[in-house]
Structure 1
Amino acid sequence: MGPGEDDRGARSAAAGDHPGEPHEAGGLSTRLNWLRAGVLGANDGVVSTAGLVVGVAGARSTAQELLTAGLAGLLAGSLSMAAGEYVSVSTQRDSERAALAAERRELATAPEAELDELTGLYIGKGLSPQLARQVATELTAHDPLAAHAEAELGINPKELVNPWNAAGASLVAFTVGALLPLLAIVLPPADARVPVTVGSVLAALAVCGWGSARLGGAPVRPAVLRNVAGGALAMAVTYLAGSLLHASAG
């Protein structure tokens, strides 16, 4: 292998190529964005609706009252989740756009200083000064904003987060998650409502914990245990509160 091939290999490593891994141009951060929102939305839908209907069941409510309370919680929760996710991701997107605008101004007014800064970043990653300068120069010539934004800001200008994707994923996922405890509380006979709901919800939370851990590359067992324990605690507290209210009213 000659010197030219060495340089090309180093530039490929600096640009982030990983042989054998499939790459798609764009879309990765967007998919991760709505997947994250979907998993969190489903988890919140399960927990919040389960806590609501189990608490109402603790007050010895009828199936009609449970259905009404559950549907109200589903609608309020899903819309709240969607609005909150939209606002949160929109703020992140605005920050990314502001950072990119500042980077464009710096590239236009001080291109040499920006090239020196990019060279320094690649030197810090382990490239020799000569090769770092060559890589920085070639990447800047190809797409200066993308080269500097990714290295300096960790932003891909072509993959900005999408607030509508996140809001839609949260809305749908919360609704789907909320339907499980709602159906589990109204369909079984009165004496089986709470046990069926608790069992269904804990199983769903285990799945949500597994999904969130897999999505984030985290250990599965702690995520599942945290999720299940949190849901169980929420249902226990609301059921106790409903039972105390029923007793005091009686």
Structure 2
Amino acid sequence: MKVFSSSNEESLSRKLIEKFHLSEQLNIIRAGVLGANDGIVSVAGIVIGVAGAHQGQLALFIAGLSGMLAGALSMGGGEYVSVSTQRDTQRTMTQIQNERIQSDYEDELKGLALHYEHEGLTPPLAKKVATQLMENDALNVTLKAKCNIELSHYFNPWHAAISSFFSFMMGSLLPLLSITFIPYPYKVPGTIAAVVLALTLTGYTSATLGNSDRVKGVLRNLLVGVGTMAVTYLIGGAFG
């Protein structure tokens, strides 16, 4: 049977209370990848649709530029509102948890010990770790265990909004530049090829960040993107 020394227990306690703040960083990366992907698909759909209507070079550029600016503002604003709501929820949960600790400390201690038992610790060790952590920082440790929230590490809506805004702009530049500078008669197929390449990259990146199947992630991304361009091109051709 494995014996836990005092130093091992202290090390375990530190690991339980100190977490690398990946959640906030991944939230920013998620917003960036999503923004870039939406920029590619949205603006590609717009310019391909306008090209299907057989509009001139200036009309293609204006349509793409308008879609890029409108989409970037929409994505950035949407992320700000969404993450602000998450942050407000985190603050509310913090207040509720603080009230619970003040009103029933022992029950929160028992709940924390039970949480560590479910994590694999023996009941005596779980109780000892929970007691030590509660004495050090009861609110922070119970928030982590129950809600995965860390004090002073709430999601920042501005980080997600700025990441989404600029990533959308960057993603949308590819179809905009492709449809603008690729000469006829290669304008549409060249833009589609460039978009397929970009969607492959963002699909692979998204799947990697989510630790999911990369092939499925790429195929799903391509299906949505190519489907969007096909629909808008057919609509543009019907009214062109």
TM-score, with normalisation over the residues of structure 1?
A: 0.90
Unmatched segments (≥5 aa) in structure 1: 18-23
Q: Distance in 1 between matches of 2:3 and 2:236?
A: 75
Q: CA deviation at 1:192?
A: 1.2
Question: What residue is the counterpart of 2:130 in the other structure?
Answer: 136
Question: What residue is the counterpart of 2:110 in the other structure?
Answer: 116
Question: What residue is the counterpart of 1:100 in the other structure?
Answer: 94
Q: Distance in 2 between matches of 1:114 and 1:25?
A: 21
Q: CA deviation at 1:180?
A: 0.5
1:28–1:159 contact (8 Å) kept in structure 2 = no
Q: Which amino acid aligns with 1:91?
A: T
Q: CA RMSD in A?
A: 2.0
Q: Distance in 1 between matches of 2:119 and 2:38?
A: 40
Is structure 2 residue 46 aligned with structure 1 residue 47? no
Question: What residue is the counterpart of 1:237 in the other structure?
Answer: 231
Name which of 171, 177, 188 aligns with 2:182: 188
Is structure 2 residue 8 aligned with structure 1 residue 9? yes
Q: CA deviation at 1:147?
A: 1.0
Structure 1 moving runs of 4+ over 3 Å: 1-4, 7-17, 24-27
Name which of 157, 161, 164 aligns with 1:167: 161
Instruction: Choose 24-33 or 167-176, whichever is displaced more.
Output: 24-33
Q: Distance in 2 between matches of 1:8 and 1:158?
A: 28
Q: Which amino acid aligns with 1:206?
A: T
Name which of 67, 87, 90 aligns with 2:61: 67
Q: Distance in 1 between matches of 2:82 and 2:46?
A: 25
Is structure 2 residue 195 aligned with structure 1 residue 201? yes
Q: Distance in 1 between matches of 2:118 and 2:28?
A: 33
TM-score, with normalisation over the residues of structure 2?
A: 0.93
Q: Which amino acid aligns with 1:9?
A: N
2:49–2:233 contact (8 Å) kept in structure 1 = yes
Q: Which amino acid aligns with 1:182?
A: L
Name which of 147, 151, 163 aligns with 2:145: 151
- 1:74-112 Cα distance to aligned partner (Å, 9 max, x none): 111000000001111111111111001111111122212
1:26–1:159 contact (8 Å) kept in structure 2 = no
Name which of 79, 99, 109 aligns with 1:85: 79
Question: What residue is the counterpart of 1:20 in the other structure?
Answer: none
Other structure's SS at 2:66 match: helix
Q: Which amino acid aligns with 2:120?
A: G
Q: Which amino acid aligns with 1:190?
A: Y
1:188–1:196 contact (8 Å) kept in structure 2 = yes
Identity of aligned residues (%): 44
2:13–2:133 contact (8 Å) kept in structure 1 = no
Q: CA deviation at 1:129?
A: 2.2
1:46–1:205 contact (8 Å) kept in structure 2 = yes
Question: What residue is the counterpart of 1:21 in the other structure?
Answer: none
Q: Distance in 2 between matches of 1:14 and 1:52?
A: 54
- 1:48-91 Cα distance to aligned partner (Å, 9 max, x none): 00000000000001110001101110111000000001111111
2:31–2:160 contact (8 Å) kept in structure 1 = yes
